[in-house]
Structure 1
Amino acid sequence: MGDIVQDGHNSQEVGQSTQQTPDTIQELPQVGMKFDSEDELHVFYKKYAYQTGFGVRTSSTRRESNTKYYALECSKGGTYVCRTESNTTRLSSKTDCKAKVSVIVYGDGRCTISRVFLEHNHVLSPRKSRFQRSHNKLDSYSKRRLELNDSAGIPLCKNFHLLVVEAQGYENLAFDERDCRNFIAKARQLRLGTGDAEALRDYFVRMQRRSPNFYYVIDMDDEGRLRNVFWVDPRSRAAYESFGDVVSFDSTYLTNKYDMPFAPFVGVNHHRQSILFGCGLLSSEDKETYAWLFNSWLECMNGRSPKTIITDQCRSMKAAVAKVFPESHHRLCLWHIMKKIPKKLNGYTQYKAIYRTLKILVYESIEPQEFEDGWSKMIEDYNLEKNEWLSSLFDERKHWVPVYVKIIFWAGMSPLKEVKVYILFFDGYVNSKTTLRQFVEQYHNALKSKMEKESKADFASQNSSYKLLTGLCFEKQFHDCYTNAIFKLFQNELQGMLFCNHSLFKQDGTISIYHVTDVVDKKYEKCKRKVVYDVSYNEVGCDIKCSCHLFEFRGIVCRHMMKILIEKEIKELPSRYILSRWRKDLKHRHYYVTSCYEDLKNEEQAKQFNHLCSDFYEAAHIANSREKYEYLIKCIQVAKEKLNHDTSWVLTSNKVVMCEDVQCGPNPAAKLLSPSKVRGKGRPPSKRNESIVCDGKKDKVQDQRNSSLSDIRADKGTSSSSKDGRTFISDTMFPSTYYSFDLNH
């Protein structure tokens, strides 16, 4: 296979299951336009709507004798009507848009446009037209493919991703995964003839050719065997600028067949979705290896450390975080800790009572003193004084217990349950049996899927919103600024305010101290309790704080603060209470970064092949009689003869560059060996849900390595090697230049 380089003109997107988006809009609808059928009119208007960026619906149908009258309207026409008395709000896209064309259909089937109104009262988004319901269409070719794969028992996600790959990206599909819910899709696999390590290296080289900002580091041992790998795609680097304040790092998620821990850096975007900041494959789990990975990641992110970082309970990892990120707040993952309880405490006769008491203390303590008193009582009641694991947990309580960590901003990564969702970023794509060759392809698919979900959430936040619950001005303020996911959390607090009562406790000049009584669920005791929170309000600058610390922890104004804001008749909050990372009206830089995982736009031959397959299948579907079949066969035979014997008229404007003309990686003559199977320190060779407390000891192999990336870094934009030539770095300045390894040790 070769790379196809298209000459300097933009070609149209082709392929089955695609919708075309030309650069210029077709003819505008006009009064008096005539069509031979309603279908012709609908095709015309829907094509115009797709190019313009809005959806279409049919309304106002009426008949008079043999004439029918109706309108093709913008899908945002009309207003939202709540048909239930429930307090639960639903998303609505209605803006009472008046854009429409009125249609008259005559008795003979011909139709004409009688009235036209093209002005919309909302933002149009041509690039996201595919999300409009009226433009969703599952064509016959895709249906057939889905049916065949379903018969073969292929899972849904793989079946759908196969269509995505064939269509050259999500943006070229006229349907989404929901439209294929009753079918199954097959995802392609990366099939390379080289070994796992060489496949990984060639993959990195190919990605950097597509995007200069693709960053990767490969670390090898003295025998030229792959040891550690780290890489970040350009979109992740750009996303870190907006959402890099909180990072979750987990190396206990899974290992591959070499027992190399897979270690992703994951954050949270403005829709509370997981977003990737980088990945590593490690051969060991000691302090030096983690320090190497963290330094590589820090170098990639231009030296900007995260404000907060979440890891599992590993001593080596904790030491590396303290060394590389000394100014970052470090929190242990509560989910990992709570998953260990059965293993650590199951031997006690009163295990169930201990487990229940521990969960009540961890999840339902309101104040630190309440937690500490309850912990002491638990240790005494169940004779747990000699349990070293519990003692170590109590010593580190300020790094994992919710009542201690809530005073710091964690971007909604709740220590109660949500971290589990964010760290399982690649669930359903990779597993313990995945080879490195398969891994890079599944990694590719997982990232494209996450990008698509973010695009759909952006579209939903821009084109629909939750109904306002009150007439409060600051609710409208948050409604206009926040994404739907964040605004829904705010509305939950607004509803919870109904159960709060307040009273003035103390007045000191411009500062007022209020007691706000709230009713809190005690989940594990199946009852409720009244909790009093302190809310301070300063008239100067409208400064308000609450002892529940929800704003500090999640970045959302809490119900207790809202109670006092209403008391003070505050109509609009200062901008500092609206976090920019939650806003829907900001254009983050990673929106403008072209993903290097998308297929290159100059792969014209592949697009032409897909388009021909789509047309051939459609023609075969139409040829449902003997006469049509014979005619189609005759046409195909004539075309084949023409193509085989007469090529003088075939276009040759595209330049094809074969692989032999390009060096496909650093020192292609040198062989990069696959990693040896490393010792897993007792970890099961499958997907792991529990973290392991590391002893911090070095492997023998690791005694020969450098302690951090600072030993091997060079000027930015060039390759860098350690003194023994075992580390390779590729960054942004020379995307088409590849540096060799010294493997002659």
Structure 2
Amino acid sequence: MEIDSQVEMTSKKDTEVPSNEESGNSDKVNEQELENPVVEDDVEIPKVGMIFESEEEVRNYYKKYAKHWGFGVAKISTKNRSDGKSSYFSLACARNGKTALKAKESFHSRPSTKTNCKAKINVIAKEDGRFIITRVYLDHNHALSPGKVQHFRCNKVPDSHVRKRLELNDLAGITESKKNHSLVEAGGQEKLPSGERECRNYIAKARQSRLDIGDVDSLRNYFCCMQKRNSNFFYMVDMDEEGGFKNVFWADARCRAAYESFGDVITFDTTYLTNKYEMPFALFVGVNHHGQPVLLGCGLLSNEDTDTYIWLFESWLKCMLGHAPKAIITDQCKAIQGAVAKVFTKSCHRLCLWHIMQKIPTKVGGLSQYRAIKRMLKNVVYESVNQDEFERSWIELIKEYKLEKNEWLKSLYRDRHRWVPVYVKCTFWAGMSTTQRSESLNAFFDEYVHSKTTVKQFVEQYDSALKSKAEEENKADFASFYCTIPTITLLPIEKQFQSVYTNDIFKHFQDELRGLIYCYTFVLKREGSVSTFEVRERKVGKDGVSWKELTYEIFYNAADCQVRCSCHLFEFRGILCRHAISVLIQLKINEVPSHYILERWRKDIKRGYTFVKNIYDDSSNSEQRQQNNNLIPLLFELQELGAKSDEKNELLMKLLKEAKEKLLAFDSGSHNGCSLTSENSMEPKI
């Protein structure tokens, strides 16, 4: 800290100790006084021209000064540069400003600390990054109390000494009352640097971000073990200032390979707590060809703020070679939304419908007509056929129950394009309308962990949990290969889907076929190769008695056999809807074009991640596992190189076909004179 003589100085009055006068005017001080600053018990009086190396140094200095004289400190104004750093700010007495009394508080007014005190310092950032005091007001218009400074809000944050003492006591198992007693004994109750509640909050946060030595070692050992099993295992660790684990992310080789097949749509969820430190367990989850949840990476987090989520998303994106998902579903957390907007800039982001609807009781439960509001709100959200109908119904709901001032409903309406079904149905979501797929994966982990599970215990159980999950998928693969779901009609279209779709997805298609009995199809017009149809569908009401009729419009282009329905089920779920099927039947089309049979639902495709075997089991054939582990990373790398241009893709295809022919020649025994290291080297010259 130093004094800059080039700044305009204030007078001698501003160098005196704080008084209780009403005035806060500043005069000028001469440079002689600046060279010999006033010092009271090592606490220097603020002067114009004082220079500090950082904003934190300014804050610490003024807080120390305020603590000595007995007043609290608050930041009352600030101006930031384009890079987000402060260019100007003021630190003032905490009793600065006035309290505006509202009419409804006239008879039940709250206590106020504000006296419009003018004491403050103005600080400007210099070009060299340092900070200089440009104006000082010392006078207060209220009594000062150095003996009660520990009660000011600015002084309730535990300092480094107290934090260390609290953590040591907590590690030793000392109770809350004894922890506070030890701090009081160190200097008396009046010297206690923070309140009991602040100490408890700090201990809770420290527990959350602190891992036992055994936990840290367990994580390191697990990561090393997994990388030995398969070099494609990925992990990242975010360290705190003291070199401890703060946030951790990892994805095994199977997760990374599965992302190639099922990374188009993911859900992200942090509502699950796995350990005694209450560190949120963050899950990236997709959906496989059976409609089952598939893990695509996970992490343990110390905080739930935007910066933490940005670190996690960037780590996950790096793990997936920079390929962001086409669509992502999260809950309403503002921190998550901010991180998604920053990292997944081109991904379609929607909010979890289930989480939103679960909040209805807490947000409108206190209203006198709660049941009627809840019933109508659900009808507006779930039963609206198009956006116009939703808009009309929403306005009707707000007016009928006088909800114009409900802030929660206002925010939902502003975000309607990101959660209401009629606004998001044109994007492919693999049938996922909520984050319940990640929650069902949480339920799967519940068989192996509980709220008291340590991180060490968790990583020990993680392999068992994922191995069981892989086995479930293997059983579903076998069922689709070995068993056939009987058809319910004689339609050739049903036979076509039966032969290619997995059993679970084929069942969903059959649900659409069953709905045909409630559909009535009419031709509206024909213009060249394009025909427009109207399908009316009767649906039973939620009471199971009443019926209503919904109308859908379907367009069919005979030139390329394109069919499009206003319900957008195919765009949303990847399965043809009953309305489109009804039109195809009327047009006597017996075979659906291939573009209506999505690869992600097919059972006759061998996907790359299924070759990543035995990563959760050390007792398996090590030679075979090592062969697979050597091949998978190389294939990943070749795929990345080949996808960069048409020329590279063509070259890679040619080389792989040559390799395939030579490998088949080895299997047939006709490899005499055939060498895999011939002139046509397998190393692509890209």
**Mapping of 1:681-696 within 5 angstroms?**
none
Matched, 1:315 2:334: yes
Give the one of 552, 555, 563 matched to 2:574.
555
CA pair 417-523 structure 1, distance change in 2 beyond 3 A? farther
Q: Deviations over 1:451-478 (max 9, x none)?
A: 0110000000000111122222221111
Which amino acid is 2:539 matched to?
V
TM-score, structure 2 length as denominator?
0.58
- Rounded to whole Å, the distance in 1 between the matches of 2:570 and 2:616 is 37
| CA distances 1:109-143 after superposition (whole Å, capped 9, x unpaired) | xxxxxxxxxxxxxxxxxxxxxxxxxxxxxxxxxxx
Q: Give the one of 378, 386, 389 matched to 1:367.
A: 386
- Asked whether 1:291 is paired with 2:310, we answer yes
What stretches of structure 1 move > 4 A for 4+ residues in a row? 415-420, 422-425
Aligned with residue 198 of structure 1, among 217, 221, 242: 217
Trace 1:312-461 onto structure 2 (pairs within 5 A): 312-415=331-434, 420-421=439-440, 424-461=443-480
Q: How far apart, in 2, do the equivalents of 1:262 and 1:375 lie?
A: 36
Higher helix proportion: 2
Contact 1:364 1:522 (8 Å CA) reproduced: no
Does the C-alpha gap of structure 1 residues 271 and 602 become closer, same or farther in structure 2, counting only changes over 3 Å? closer
The 1:284–1:361 alpha-carbon spacing in structure 2 relative to 1, beyond 3 Å, is same
Structure 1 pair 240/566, CA: closer, same or farther in 2 (3 Å)?
same
Counterpart mapping for 1:441-520 below 5 A: 441-520=460-539
The match for 2:272 among 226, 240, 253 is 253
Provide the rounded CA distance (Å) in 2 between the counterparts of 1:333 and 1:458: 29
Conserved? CA contact 1:232–1:278, under 8 Å = yes
Q: Please name the residue that 1:93 is paired with.
A: none
Cα pair 1:519 1:529 within 8 Å, conserved: yes
How big is the shift at 1:525?
Answer: 8.1
Q: Deviations over 1:431-462 (max 9, x none)?
A: 32211011112222221111011000000000
The 8 Å contact of residues 291 and 321 in structure 1, kept in 2 or not, is answered as yes
Alignment of 1:566-581 (within 5 A): 566-581=585-600
Cα pair 1:249 1:423 within 8 Å, conserved: no
Q: Distance in 2 between matches of 1:338 and 1:446?
A: 30
Partner of 1:689: none
Structure 2 SS opposite 1:250: strand
SS in 1 for 2:273: coil
**Does structure 1 residue 214 correspond to structure 2 residue 242?**
no
Once the two structures are TM-superposed, the CA of residue 602 in structure 1 deviates from its matched residue by 6.3
| Offset of residue 425 of structure 1 | 4.9
**Distance of 1:523 and 1:416 partners within structure 2:** 24
Aligned to 1:268: 287
CA distance in 2, matches of 1:202, 1:349: 58
Give, as a single letter, the amino acid of the residue that structure 1 aligns with 2:380.
L
From the superposition, tell whether residues 201 and 368 of structure 1 become closer, same or farther in structure 2 (CA, over 3 Å).
Answer: same
Q: Distance in 1 between matches of 2:555 and 2:265?
A: 27
Q: How far has the Cα of 1:407 moved from its partner? A: 1.1
The answer on whether the counterparts of 1:402 and 1:416 sit within 8 Å (CA) in structure 2 is no
CA–CA distance in 2 between the matches of 1:417 and 1:196?
30
Following superposition, the deviation at residue 218 of structure 1 comes to 1.1
Q: Secondary structure at the match of 1:299?
A: helix
AA in 2 matched with 1:392: S
> SS in structure 1 opposite 2:267?
strand
Which residue of the partner structure matches residue 663 of structure 1?
none
Deviations 1:173-201 (A, max 9, x none): xxxxxxxxxxxxxxxxxxx9961122112
Secondary structure in 2 matching 1:520: strand
Deviation at 1:255, TM superposition (A): 5.0
Q: Is the 2:540–2:546 Cα contact (8 Å) retained in structure 1? A: yes
Contact 1:250 1:423 in 2 (8 A): no
1:484, distance to aligned residue in structure 2 (A):
0.3
Contact kept? 2:269, 2:438, Cα under 8 Å: no
> Highest CA radius of gyration, 1 or 2?
2
Q: In structure 2, which of residues 243, 248, 251 is the aligned counterpart of residue 229 of structure 1?
A: 248
Aligned residue for 2:270, secondary structure, equals coil
Q: 1:280 aligns with which of 299, 313, 320?
A: 299
Q: Is the contact between residue 352 and residue 435 of structure 2 (CA under 8 Å) also seen in structure 1?
A: no
1:464-517 deviations in Å (ceiling 9; x for gaps): 111122222221111110000011111111111121111110111110000011
CA shift, 1:430, in A, is 2.5
Point out where structure 1 has 5 or more consecutive residues left out of the alignment: 1-191, 605-715, 717-745
**Contact 1:466/1:484 (<8 A) preserved:** yes
Q: Are residues 602 and 495 of structure 1, via their aligned partners in 2, closer, same or farther at CA, if it must alter by over 3 Å?
A: closer
Deviations 1:300-326 (A, max 9, x none): 101111011000101111111111111
Q: 1:203 to 1:415 in 2, by over 3 A?
A: closer
Distance 1:338 1:193, change over 3 A: closer
* 1:254 CA drift (Å): 2.5
The within-5 A match list for 1:160-179 is none
- d(CA) in 2 for partners of 1:310, 1:260: 21
Q: Which has the higher contact order (CA 8 A, sep 6+)?
A: 1
1:241 aligns with 260
Structure 2 unaligned regions, length at least 5: 1-210, 624-639, 641-686
8 Å CA contact 1:356–1:524 kept in 2: the answer is no
1:526 and 1:209, CA in 2 relative to 1: closer, same or farther beyond 3 A?
farther
C-alpha contact 1:359 1:524 (8 A) present in aligned 2:
no
- Deviation, 1:536, is 0.6
Tell me how large the CA RMSD over aligned residues is.
Answer: 2.1
Is this contact kept in 1: 2:330–2:352, CA < 8 A?
yes
What is the DSSP-based 3-state SS (H/G/I as helix, E as strand, rest coil) of the residue aligned with 1:600?
A: coil
Question: Structure 1: how far apart are the matches of 2:310 and 2:613?
Answer: 30
CA distance in 2, matches of 1:512, 1:329: 31
Question: CA 1:601 to 1:417, structure 2 compared with 1: closer, same or farther past 3 Å?
Answer: closer
Task: Check conservation: 1:273, 1:422, Cα contact below 8 A.
Answer: no
**In structure 2, C-alpha distance between the alignment counterparts of 1:494 and 1:359, rounded to whole Å:** 27
Cα deviation, residue 397, structure 1: 0.8
CA distance in 1, matches of 2:444, 2:527: 50
C-alpha distance in 1 between matches for 2:299 and 2:438:
19
Contact 1:363 1:416 in 2 (8 A): no
DSSP 3-state at the match of 1:392: helix
